[in-house]
């Protein structure tokens, strides 16, 4: 199940963060998102590392812990998408399709003339669209 | 408007990854572009021309010198450029990130120009005197097509709007640069061509060198 | 740097272009009677000042339109003489001919009036006037730095009109 | 030789130069944002957009008449129909429909299901009073005035405010015949 989704600007300024669990572990999830940023920066700065091809937007698995997996995606505008899931055997291909649809929603949200680049995304339609993508992704939220 | 065959950029051999013969690539790319942007909505050129002329005339009332007018047009263009980058990266580049200078220049020269102006830019050249300068030129820049500049406005160039778009794309893709629009006379022609001059900041060139 | 017209035309009409062109002169008026453009190619006789000449021409057309509508035998509405009409109202008169010249006239619903005086033998010029109207739209109306209702001062537009009219049979 | 019949909107739209709607939409978004920063007041922005539209309408009508071969704009009902079917298609690539005629035939509504100005747009709560597409009402008013029809154009429905279509009401105030412009003593 997807427990947390975040969009972080290129100066690591948070643009959007949403957790999908009732439990009050939001703080822990935010911390995880934070530390995954360093993994992304490190992976971008010296692209010699293995894993997905160097200049691909999908960064793959960032830092697996015992009961969470954190995936990353970096756009051409240096904006980072981070996803935290408890589903330990999720396939990379599914993650790619998820991120592509999430990226489509993000693009529409920032193309809104009233959105100020670099500021938090406050669009209601974006939040609804993200919720439907998460829901329809087969990993239904609990309860 | 028929899709005019654009001649290949003279100055700089723009690096095409997958095909030996440049003109051959152009044909594939057009076909590909058609499919990618099929079903894309269109509006008439005059609708854009009239709208753009209102943008110019409105800003004329808000400024008292030409430099400020160009700056305001550039700001308007910047906002467009930032959003165009998001739109195009997602739609055209799919899952590939642009990390190299030539890559982003080629992206502007072809993909951005095709989506905005319906054709690849006429030419993309590397500056001869300065390492950090590149010139993207257009015989008849869309925004200048219906505009005749009265004498008292000197070297005013509405292309500043397009310079803003290019700057919006470059800054947001991590290649900050100073971008300006200039009229360059073409011998034997009544109308000058418009050149968008791109001057990258120091840090971009250093990073480019580091990536080798 | 001089682009796409914008030069100052001297107040008096320019010297007529090369002969062999059987157009004498061209007027373009807008609905308020402002003469947007006057081009002359050969008109040996000049009696009035250009301002009066324009006024005479506009007045002639204004009354001709009203007259032709009034005497239209086929129409039922009782248009009375001299009552202002809507552009396009009543029957549309498009030319008259004398033994020495032919006057072709076109009026758009927006009140733009184009008058071309040519050699009596010239053929039907309605499409030609429509073409000139298109030139006016492309070269003048769409230029943001032109303010509607003022005389046209664009060299490129004048050249395009001269060139086109020279080719008229 | 009878003048050519008025051309259909699609025929003209196919024949004119066209640009990508995104450039048009994003440029319009930049204009609205510039006005909001300069004028701050939402009704000031509405007024300015309407005025800009009027300036466009006054010029655009000549291109519309030239390219559409429309030679008579005397009857209001006929003109509204032509604007919706030909005018909108020719410039914006979308067709509008004309409905809700009042009994005297002096007021109608132009209905648009699709509008290239509003792609991606989402009105923030601070701009609820904004008529984002007010430039369109100005264009219609300006164009009609040039063909001697003084009108009042107002938004009845706006998709950005949750309605399912855009509805522009066009009310004919009066038709202004052409006066003889010169005073006799001149």
Q: Which domains does chain B have, with CATH numbers?
A: 44-211 (3.30.1380.20)
Element (H, E) at B49: helix B45-62
Chain D residues with beta carbon closer than 8 angstroms to that of C139: none
Largest CA distance in chain C: 58
Q: Is A111 left (phi over 0), alpha (psi -120 to 50) or beta?
A: alpha
Report which of D32, D116, A118 is spatially closest to residue B58, judged by C-alpha positions.
D32
Candidates A106, A114, A128, partner chain D, best to mutate (most D CBs within 10 A): A114
Please determine, for the modelled complex, whether the ipTM score is greater than 0.90.
no
Residues of D with CB under 8 A from a CB of B: 13, 16-24, 26-31, 33-35, 38, 48, 52, 55-56, 59-60, 63, 90-93, 116, 119-120, 135
Q: Let me know if chains C and A touch, i.e. at least 3 Cβ pairs under 8 angstroms.
A: no
pLDDT, average across residues B42-67: 90
Q: Is residue C107 part of a domain?
A: yes
CB atoms near residue D129 (< 10 Å) = 11
Q: Write the CATH number for C91.
A: 3.30.450.70
3-class DSSP assignment, residue C103: strand
pLDDT per residue over B127-155, tens digit each? 888 888 999 998 888 888 777 777 777 77
Looking only at the bridges linking them, the beta strands covering C95-97 and C35-40 are unpaired
Q: CA-based angle B172:B174:B178, to the nearest 5? A: 80
pLDDT at D99: 93
- Dihedral angle, C-alpha B68, B72, B75, B81, nearest 10 °: -120
CA distance B161 to B56: 10
Between A and B, how many CB-CB pairs are < 8 A?
52
CA distance B194 to B200: 19
CA distance A109 to A113: 9
CA distance D30 to A114: 9
- Looking at chain C, the whole-number percentage of residues with pLDDT higher than 70 is 79
Looking at domain D9-175, does it have CATH number 3.30.1380.20?
A: yes
- pLDDT higher for B189 or C89? B189
- Asked if the model's pLDDT at residue C28 lies above 90, the reply is yes
Chain D residues with beta carbon closer than 8 angstroms to that of B52: 27
pLDDT per residue over A97-141, tens digit each? 888 889 889 988 988 888 888 888 888 889 999 988 888 876 443
CA distance C94 to C117: 12
Q: Which residues of chain D have pLDDT under 50?
A: 1-2, 186
In sequence order, what DSSP letters do the residues of B59-84 get, joined into one string? HHHH-SSHHHHHHHHHHHHHHHHHHH
CB neighbour class for B83 (10 Å; exposed up to 12, middle 13-18, buried from 19):
buried
Q: Is residue C13 part of a domain?
A: no
Structure tokens, C48: 């009035």
Q: Is residue C53 part of a domain?
A: yes
The strand order across the sheet containing C95-97 reads C35-40, C23-29, C113-118, C102-107, C95-97
Report which of D186, D27, D49 is spatially closest to residue D127, judged by C-alpha positions.
D49
Q: Is residue C48 part of a domain?
A: yes
Find out whether B196 and B144 touch, Cβ atoms under 8 Å.
no
CA distance B173 to A78: 7
Chain A residues with beta carbon closer than 8 angstroms to that of D124: 114, 122
Architecture of domain A2-136: 2-Layer Sandwich (3.30)
Q: Let me know if chains D and C touch, i.e. at least 3 Cβ pairs under 8 angstroms.
A: yes
pLDDT at B80: 92
pLDDT per residue over C72-105, tens digit each? 887 776 656 666 666 666 677 889 999 989 999 9
Q: How many domains does chain C have?
A: 1
CB neighbour class for C11 (10 Å; exposed up to 12, middle 13-18, buried from 19):
exposed
Instruction: List C-alpha distances in Å: B55 to A27, B141, B196, D23.
Output: 47, 17, 20, 14
CA distance C66 to C53: 20
pLDDT per residue over A21-37, tens digit each? 776 777 787 788 888 88
- pLDDT higher for C51 or C169? C51
Q: Is residue C3 part of a domain?
A: no
State whether residue B56 sits within 8 Å of chain C by CB: yes
pLDDT per residue over D58-111, tens digit each? 999 999 998 888 877 778 988 898 888 899 999 999 989 999 999 999 999 999
Structure tokens, B199: 């001057």
Helices (H), D69-149: 76-82, 88-92, 134-146
Q: Is residue C50 part of a domain?
A: yes
Structure tokens, B209: 């060198």
Structure tokens, B109: 């020269």
| Sequence ranges of the domains in chain D | 9-175
In sign, the C-alpha dihedral spanning C124, D59, B53, D157 is: negative
Q: Domain of residue C36: give its range.
A: 23-72+80-166
CB neighbour class for C70 (10 Å; exposed up to 12, middle 13-18, buried from 19):
middle
3-class DSSP assignment, residue D129: coil
């Amino acid at each position: 199940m997807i427990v947390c989704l975040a969009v972080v600007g290129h100066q690591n300024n948070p643009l959007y963060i949403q957790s999908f669990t009732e439990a009050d572990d939001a703080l822990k999830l935010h911390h995880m998102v934070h530390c995954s940023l360093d993994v992304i920066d490190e992976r971008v700065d010296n692209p010699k590392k293995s894993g997905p091809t160097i200049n691909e937007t999908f960064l793959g698995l960032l830092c697996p812990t015992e009961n969470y997996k954190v995936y990353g995606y970096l756009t051409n505008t240096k904006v980072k998408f981070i996803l935290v899931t408890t589903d330990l055997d999720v396939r990379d291909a599914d993650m790619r399709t998820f991120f592509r649809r999430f990226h489509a929603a993000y693009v529409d949200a920032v193309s809104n003339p009233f959105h100020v680049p670099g500021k938090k995304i406050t669009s209601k339609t974006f939040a609804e669209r993200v919720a439907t993508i998460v829901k329809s992704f087969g990993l239904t939220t609990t309860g | 408007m028929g899709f005019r065959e654009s001649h290949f950029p003279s100055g700089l051999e723009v690096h095409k990854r997958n095909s030996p013969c440049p003109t051959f690539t152009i044909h594939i790319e057009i076909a590909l572009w058609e499919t990618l942007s099929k079903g894309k909505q269109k509006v008439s050129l005059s609708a854009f021309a009239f709208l753009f002329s209102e943008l110019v005339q409105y800003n004329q009332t808000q400024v008292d010198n030409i430099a400020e007018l160009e700056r305001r047009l550039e700001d308007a263009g910047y906002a467009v450029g930032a959003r165009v980058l998001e739109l195009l990266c997602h739609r055209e580049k799919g899952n590939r990130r642009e990390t190299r200078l030539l890559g982003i220049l080629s992206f502007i020269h072809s993909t951005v120009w095709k989506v905005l102006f319906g054709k690849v830019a006429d030419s993309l050249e590397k500056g001869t005197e300065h390492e950090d300068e590149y010139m993207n030129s257009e015989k008849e820049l869309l925004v200048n097509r219906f505009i005749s500049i009265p004498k008292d406005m000197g070297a005013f160039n509405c292309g500043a709007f397009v310079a803003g778009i290019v700057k919006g794309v470059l800054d947001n893709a991590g290649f900050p640069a100073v971008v300006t629009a200039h009229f360059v006379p073409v011998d034997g022609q009544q109308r000058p061509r418009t050149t968008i001059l791109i001057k990258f900041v120091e840090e971009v060139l250093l990073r480019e060198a580091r990536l080798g | 740097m001089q682009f796409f017209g914008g030069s100052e035309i001297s107040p008096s009409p320019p010297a007529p272009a090369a002969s062999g062109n059987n157009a004498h002169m061209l007027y373009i008026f807008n609905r308020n009677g402002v003469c947007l453009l006057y081009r002359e190619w050969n008109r040996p006789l000049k009696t009035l000042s250009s301002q009066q000449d324009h006024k005479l021409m506009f007045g002639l057309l204004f009354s001709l339109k009203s007259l032709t509508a009034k005497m239209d035998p086929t129409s039922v509405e009782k248009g009375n003489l001299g009552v202002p009409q809507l552009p396009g109202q009543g029957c549309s008169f498009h030319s008259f001919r004398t033994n020495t010249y032919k006057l072709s006239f076109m009026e758009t619903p927006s009140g733009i009036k184009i008058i071309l005086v040519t050699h009596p033998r010239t053929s039907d010029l309605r499409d030609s006037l429509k073409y000139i109207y298109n030139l006016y739209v492309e070269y003048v109306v769409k230029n943001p730095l032109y303010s509607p209702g003022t005389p046209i001062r664009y060299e490129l537009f004048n050249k395009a009109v001269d060139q086109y009219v020279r080719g008229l049979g | 030789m009878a003048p050519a019949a008025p051309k259909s909107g699609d025929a003209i739209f196919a024949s004119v130069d066209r640009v990508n709607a995104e450039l048009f939409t994003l440029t319009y978004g930049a204009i609205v944002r510039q006005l909001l920063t300069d004028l701050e007041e939402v009704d000031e922005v509405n007024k300015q957009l309407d005025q800009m539209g009027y300036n466009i309408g006054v010029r655009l009508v000549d291109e519309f008449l030239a390219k559409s071969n429309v030679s008579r704009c005397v009857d209001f009902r006929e003109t509204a129909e032509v604007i919706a079917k030909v005018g909108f298609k020719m410039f914006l690539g979308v067709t509008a429909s004309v409905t809700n005629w009042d009994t005297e035939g002096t007021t109608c509504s132009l209905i648009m299901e699709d509008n290239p100005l509003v792609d991606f747009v989402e009105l923030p709560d601070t701009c609820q009073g904004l008529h984002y597409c007010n430039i369109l009402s100005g264009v219609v008013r300006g164009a009609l005035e040039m063909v001697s029809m003084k009108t009042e154009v107002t938004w009845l429905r706006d998709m950005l405010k949750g309605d399912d279509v855009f509805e522009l009401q066009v009310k004919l105030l009066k038709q202004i015949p052409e006066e003889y412009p010169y005073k006799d003593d001149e």
